[in-house]
A and B are shown apart, each in its own frame.
Chain A
């Protein structure tokens, strides 16, 4: 018996600078993403990942009318550390950097730049970001939204923190437009519980999602909740 689809992925975009093993029309490997969908006066305060996300979101949500659920476990670790160092030295903080140090900074700039006034959520879930995004998306869809954008982004962890993490993090961002109804060329996203003795590779990172979306892995595993997700072209 086939498990019914949890939701359908209508489209997706991804960014992973320097990635060489996969080429895909929905994947950008640009070292310096343009951020051309956001006015220059707003764009200047974004780093590469913010620019990449704004471009991806603009392509997925042409009418700028979808709720946006954004997740990142670590946010911008380098800039946060820079500010902490400045505080430790009692040096003044850059107001612009401080203003963009909140977790929802990138969705905020995107929303101003594109005039999207729909709901936004910024999530950090101790490594369970993808599972959390799906749960939240399901809630919005159940409430009657026809589609929702989920985005997941991570950057390399600052060297100073790296020893505290066992999961390596590549700089990458991924965004999916999901819905409860299938569309032409959509993918059915189906979950299955993982057996209690199944070995998992830790928390799925944005780069793992890109592997999965590009077809380089059949299932995306997550140890907490013990869950696996597969993507199949919907009929």
Chain B
């Protein structure tokens, strides 16, 4: 089951990262977002960090283990937004 927030994040990822050939259905909430799975790269990680800051007011350390954990897949990302959003 995909939550409303997860659905919103799928659109955020597709729009921000200009994933023109990807649909929300293609993003499996439990699959990795980076390298494997969706196949995003390090520039995408920075871009996504910026988008989270703009949309939800969440500031992350760019190269910490914690950030790595939050960016693992869509579910961990949704949990982060749920917990830390200020907007």
Contact = CB atoms under 8 A, between A and B. Distances in A.
B18 A44 contact: yes
Contacts of B28: none
B21 A96 contact: no
Nearest to A95: B46
| Size bracket of the A interface | 10 to 19
A95 B50 contact: yes
Contacts of A95: 43, 46-47, 50
B47 A96 contact: yes
Contact of B50 (A44, A45, A92): A92
B60 interface: no
B49 to A, nearest CB: 9
A41 B26 CA distance: 14
A62 interface: no
A4 interface: no
A44 B38 CA distance: 14
B18 A94 contact: no
Interface residues of B, number: 14
A198 interface: no
A163 B39 CA distance: 44
B43 A99 contact: yes
A54 B50 CA distance: 29
A220 B50 CA distance: 47
Nearest to B54: A92
Interface in B24-47: 39, 41, 43-44, 46-47
A40 interface: yes
B4 interface: no
B20 interface: yes
Interface in A121-176: none
Contacts of A45: 18
A96 B41 CA distance: 10
B79 interface: no
Given A40-B20, A44-B17, A96 B43 contact: yes
A44 B20 contact: yes
Interface string A68-98: 0000000000000000000000001011100
Interface of B: 17-21, 39, 41, 43-44, 46-47, 50, 53-54
Given A44-B21, A94-B47, A96-B18, 19 more contacts: A40-B20, A41-B39, A41-B41, A43-B20, A44-B17, A44-B18, A44-B19, A44-B20, A45-B18, A92-B50, A92-B53, A92-B54, A94-B50, A95-B43, A95-B47, A96-B17, A96-B43, A96-B47, A99-B43
19 contacts: A40-B20, A40-B21, A41-B39, A41-B41, A43-B20, A44-B17, A44-B20, A45-B18, A92-B50, A92-B53, A92-B54, A94-B47, A94-B50, A95-B46, A95-B47, A95-B50, A96-B43, A96-B46, A99-B43
